[in-house]
Amino acid sequence: MSEDVKVPTLPVPKPRARTNRKLLSFLIIFFLTVLVILFFQSSLSRISRIEVEGNVLLASDVIGQATQVAVGDRFFAVSSKTIEQRISGMPMIKSAEVTKMFPGVIHIGVEEFPKVAFQIDPNGKKQAVLADGNVIDLPAGSGIPLDMPILTGWTDTDPNKAALCKVLGEIPQSALSDVSEIKPDPSESYPDKIKIYTRSQFEIHTTITYLPDRIDNLPGYIAGLAEDHISNGVITMLEVEYHTPFATSGDSKADSKSDSKTDPKSTPKATPKSTPKP
């Protein structure tokens, strides 16, 4: 008679690899967390230096204040794009580029609107006028030469002034080298009419709209007058361009060339001025 012999089954040990892997993952996360905490508590996570370049008229500390960040602030708390938007929103700033360099350096490169003219405020203080129409005070004793046109008779709220500044910013400085002063002279026919005074003793009548197309012809225009031995007077650069000398009551030369006009951009001829210039 046979009997079934039951052999007890030996327990199979559970694998410990998974447990060890979980423990290792936990330890890694723990130490990484500790390192991150230590990093953000250290000086490496702080702004150590803010660099500004490209600015000429605006002081570096003024631009630094516009960033709304300072040395000691958290380096990763604000993005480069956010800082760029804050700076680009400043008057006088045409564009800005911000680069963050680890550890702790923020580099700011700016491009200002170009200086296109000067003006003197009611207190006699010199001011630079930019292409966007904004005005900035020049530091006393800065020694900056007034080598650009001086705007006189304009108000800061005059829209024609802003339009003029934009136009001046698009004209090469070489074309404006003889221009010393620009004044508003609006009329019913030409609301944006202006008077330009030159260092060569001419008075130019034109408009802000015509200025970009006509200013390039001014040196040749004046050279043509010089060939006719005309060294001063009024040059009108509107629909029809002509020259009127600064006449005096006994000016026989002016009287001998009466009522003559020329087509635009042709060689100008003298036309007598009925009322003497004081």
Q: How confident is the model at residue 8 (pLDDT cuts 50, 70, 90)?
A: low
The ranges of the chain annotated as CATH 3.10.20.310 are 46-112
Indicate the range of 39-53, 89-103, 238-252 predicted with least confidence: 238-252
Q: Report the CATH fold assignment for 46-112.
A: Ubiquitin-like (UB roll) (3.10.20)
Please give the CATH topology (third level) of the domain spanning 115-255. Rossmann fold (3.40.50)
Classify residue 109 as exposed, middle or buried by CB count within 10 Å of its CB (0-12, 13-18, 19+): middle
Q: pLDDT by residue (tens digit) across 97-142?
A: 999 998 889 999 999 999 999 999 888 888 999 998 989 888 776 6
Span 195-211, average pLDDT = 93
Mean pLDDT is lowest, of 121-125, 128-132, 220-224, 270-274, for 270-274
In the chain, ranges of CATH 3.40.50.10960 domains: 115-255
Cβ proximity of 169 and 138 under 8 Å: no
Average pLDDT for 166-172 = 93
Whole-number pLDDT of residue 186: 93
Strand partners, 105: 49, 101
